[in-house]
Amino acid sequence: MQIHLKTLGCRLNEAEIESWAEDFQTRGHVLTQHADEADILVVNTCAVTQEAVKKSRQIIRRTHRKNPQAKLVISGCYASLEKNIKNDIPGIDLLINNQQKDKLVDITLKELNIETVPALYSEPGETSIFSLGRHRAFIKIQDGCRYRCTFCIVTIARGNERSRTTKEIIDEINHYHTQGVQEIVLTGVHVGGFGSDINSNLHDLIKTILSDTDMPRIRLASVEPWDLPDNFFNLFSNKRLMPHMHLPLQSGSDGVLRRMSRRCKTKDYKNLILKARAEIPDFNLTTDIIVGFPGETDSEWQESIEFIEEIGFSHIHIFSYSMREGTKAASLSGQISSDVKKERSRELHALSMNMRQSFLNEQINKTSSVLWENRNDDNAWTGYTDNFIRVSLVPIDASEIENEISNIKIIGIADNVNHCIAESI
């Protein structure tokens, strides 16, 4: 059988389809990037915002139209929250919720009466991650979240925290490394909550990964700032742990943070970042900000803007607040108008661009290592530095360096402030 996998949303969804791809292949099935050639179509949906719900519905319909004869399997947060999805959208053969998705391949093959070919009949050495055109592996370390931020529907869709065992994670990382993968990203719904149910924690997991694997580059997906213990940044003394963290702030106003039920005040966040920058050379900080949360006054918005500028980020994921039925925030008074949210979003985008340009300017003449991924439209090799800056290599190198790691010096910034220009050293 030919299997086509599609996902949208978070890195956890990416990690899940990589796992499904590997599982389908070991059972003798073949991955295809072309939906119209597939016998089975699997879509991993998202529901973090109303826009994500809209896109999920569009992708399901579009995928079915491309190949109406194929079996269509839907999973993910939208599929878990919307119980009547099969009635609303035609063509769905199988619905698998988040609590079942670790067994998606088993359920799909059983429910759709598809025979499994013994693994020895499949092509030896083919790696699902490369079949999907990836240069790094996303490693799912846990699922679910025990906290309930008032705006978040994902914790409801994903359920309680469930950690994988350290041995499972180590074995998966070592497996990918033997297949040539150079970089992994530890991901989950609540990454910092890893181990809460198995008497472990994220700090200990990373120590074990550093000692029991030889993976050259290790990254972290989004981590809640309150989950980091005092000694956490000591781990970065090992250069295999990349000096970049995505620490969601959501708002720079303590009043808004209280209404969000966030567990970190601005003072605590600032102290954490000061500590990180003191201990980790060339530390790169990115974040999430929600614009127009219910009740956000003009003065609170100004507080937020000033705090965001004080901290400084190289990139901000900006979300206009989207009311999600089933969350506490949906019932809060003081819903902000679309016009106000658009204006505040424009202001924050402008600030974010200025901060990004300042950060990239600071990188000029610095040296770093880069994992090379592909060539851009100018035929120059591109990739990411250890602190997660996208760079392109000049002069153009004719040799094949895809998936190699080499040292570079940053010599400039692209005109669109999208990435830096580097030269080999």
- 177-215 pLDDT, tens per residue? 998 999 999 999 999 999 999 999 999 999 999 999 999
Q: Which of 379, 366, 373 is nearest to 420 (CA)?
A: 366
Q: What is the rounded CA–CA span in Å between residue 196 and residue 273?
A: 24
Q: Give the pLDDT band (50/70/90) at residue 15.
A: confident
Of the candidates 68, 86, 121, which is a domain's last residue?
Answer: 121
Q: Which of 119, 137, 133 is nearest to 24 (CA)?
A: 119
Q: Report the pLDDT value the prediction gives residue 115, as an integer from 0 to 100.
A: 59
| Residue 109 shares a structural domain with residue 171 | no
Q: Which of 244, 185, 238, 269 is nearest to 363 (CA)?
A: 244
Residue 125 pLDDT > 50: no
* Mean predicted lDDT score pLDDT of the chain: 91
Beta bridge partners of 147: none
Q: Which residues, 6 or more positions from 423, have their beta carbon under 8 angstroms from its beta carbon?
A: 393, 394, 395, 408, 409, 411
Q: Which of 11, 6, 48 is nearest to 188 (CA)?
A: 11
Q: Are 420 and 410 in contact (CB under 8 A)?
A: yes
Percentage of the chain lying above the pLDDT 70 cut = 94
Q: Are 408 and 423 in contact (CB under 8 A)?
A: yes
Q: Quick one: average pLDDT of 84-103?
A: 90
**Helix ranges, 247-292 (H):** 254-260, 266-279
Q: Give the pLDDT band (50/70/90) at residue 90.
A: confident
Q: Can you tell me which residue has the tokens 């915002």?
A: 49
Q: Quick one: average pLDDT of 36-41?
A: 93
The pair of structure tokens assigned to 125 is 């050495």
Residue 285 pLDDT > 70: yes
The amino acid occupying position 226 is: W
Number of Cα atoms under 13 Å in the Cβ half of residue 135: 15
Q: Report the pLDDT value the prediction gives residue 323, as an integer from 0 to 100.
A: 87
CATH, residue 408: 2.40.50
Q: Are 98 and 77 in contact (CB under 8 A)?
A: yes
| Residue 303 shares a structural domain with residue 383 | no
| Residue 254 shares a structural domain with residue 179 | yes
Q: Do the domain assignments include residue 207?
A: yes
Neighbours of 425 (CB within 10 A): 9
The amino acid occupying position 160 is: N
| Residue 175 shares a structural domain with residue 220 | yes
Residue 128 pLDDT > 70: no
Q: Any idea what DSSP says for residue 102?
A: G
Q: Give the pLDDT band (50/70/90) at residue 116.
A: low
Q: Quick one: average pLDDT of 235-259?
A: 98
* Residues spanned by the domain of 10: 2-121
Domains: count for the chain = 3
Q: Do the domain assignments include residue 45?
A: yes
Q: What is the rounded CA–CA span in Å between residue 129 and residue 144?
A: 24
CATH, residue 342: 3.80.30.20
Q: In what order do the strands lie in the sheet containing 315-320? A: 244-246, 284-291, 315-320
| Residue 60 shares a structural domain with residue 153 | no
| Residue 46 shares a structural domain with residue 142 | no
| Residue 104 shares a structural domain with residue 206 | no
Q: Which residues, 6 or more positions from 415, have their beta carbon under 8 angstroms from its beta carbon?
A: none
Q: Any idea what DSSP says for residue 390?
A: E
Q: Do the domain assignments include residue 130?
A: no
Q: Give the pLDDT band (50/70/90) at residue 418.
A: confident
Q: Report the pLDDT value the prediction gives residue 322, as an integer from 0 to 100.
A: 87
| Residue 115 shares a structural domain with residue 209 | no
| Residue 182 shares a structural domain with residue 58 | no
Q: Where would I find the beta strands (DSSP E) of 146-280? A: 162-163, 183-187, 217-220, 244-246
| Residue 140 shares a structural domain with residue 267 | yes
| Residue 315 shares a structural domain with residue 178 | yes
Question: Which run of H or of E encompasses 225?
Answer: none
Q: Give the pLDDT band (50/70/90) at residue 398.
A: low
**Residue 88: is it exposed, middle or buried by C-beta count within 10 angstroms (0-12/13-18/19+)?**
exposed
Q: Do the domain assignments include residue 129?
A: no
Q: Report the pLDDT value the prediction gives residue 43, as an integer from 0 to 100.
A: 95
